[in-house]
Amino acid sequence: MVKQQLFFMRKQIHILLLALSVLSSVNSLAQKTDSVFHKAPAPLFRDPIYDGAADPVLVWNKIEKNWWMFYSARRANMPTQDVAAYYGTRIGVASSSNHGQTWLFRGYLDLEFEKGMNTFWAPDIIYHNNEYHMFVVYIKGVRNHWGGPSQIVHFTSKDLWDWKYDQPLKLSSDKVIDATIYKKPDGRFRIWYKDETRGSVTMMSESSDLKNWETAREPAIGGKAHEGPKVFRYKDYYWMLTDEWQGMRLYRSTDLEHWDKQGLLLDKPSKREDDTPSGAHGDVVVVGDKAYIFYFTHPGRKIHGETKPDPDGQWFHTNHRTSIQVAPLKFVNGTLEATRDEPFDFHLPDMD
């Protein structure tokens, strides 16, 4: 009887030790998985058709359960007169199913709601009332040179691929571009955008239903010309980025009303591939205690706004090609920094 009890006792001890060993291995594996370093690709993405991806915005696709990137698809590899390659553009789409490590080009959105070939730039997208809302620049036709009326128009979608045209927004003028949308704590929405009739500064309008907008009389951000505002919340502050064509200017706010000017981000060249000369018009994704800035570059240029003389068109692709990049945002001494030459962990988690 004693021998039998000892046998069962030893067997139970063996099973317990085996279970503890398995549990220890699982915990060790989990810790190892958690500590895996995810290096950010550089460049993050290039449009495989026209090589002119710019003005990126990222959205979690609730149906496909992956990340989608939308961007202005300039025709950088098709020589044209002056800036015609920047008109007649569609919105490109790429998706990532491995947390941002690789991006699959999916095609271009069909947003046409008027006859002919028209121009779409710089989308911003939010999710509200069980559908996606896109606010995108619309310009009728194709132009050889900068100019002409421009509107911000509203589309809705259930799946991020099929979009229904709603209406143009009645804002501060008929020459507005580059919308950024943010839902305030009181449930109302604000849209900031560039108004070229005011000297290319940032104006602001507010709405309770995303259809009817009331515009503030004074600019939200005045002074030096700029474009591409982006508003987000991080580390208990509201932040706005604007593109000054020599990097992005940072502003900080506690109330979305008063904006304190900070320094420039991404104004210096990076050592990474295609990450020069500076970062332009981008998006920010905040995930937990981390924030990433997505932006585009003109790697063939020494200065963002200057191109090489090109009377024969041989430098057109070099002059106009663009790449999408990503960098970390770090909260340091009450402001934000973006140091992309230092190694950083890049991981876009599942959001559902």
Q: What is the CATH number of domain 227-352?
A: 2.115.10.20
pLDDT at position 32: 42
pLDDT at position 311: 78
CA–chain centroid gap for 245, Å, is: 17
pLDDT at position 309: 83
Which residue matches tokens 């070099």?
A: 318
pLDDT at position 6: 46
pLDDT at position 21: 53
pLDDT at position 240: 98
| Model confidence, pTM | 0.89
d(CA 58, CA 294): 8
pLDDT at position 157: 98
Q: Which residues have a Cβ under 8 Å from the Cβ of 37 and sit 6 or more positions away?
A: 343, 345
- The residue extents of the domains of the chain are 227-352
Nearest to 240 by CA among 248, 249, 251: 251
pLDDT at position 123: 98
d(CA 294, CA 312): 33
Here the tokens at position 257 are 């009303």
pLDDT averaged over 10-residue windows placed end to end, the chain, 352 residues: 51 54 47 71 98 98 98 96 96 98 98 97 98 98 96 98 98 98 98 98 98 97 97 98 98 98 97 98 97 98 90 88 98 96 95 88
Query: 43 preceded by cis ω (within 30°)?
Result: yes
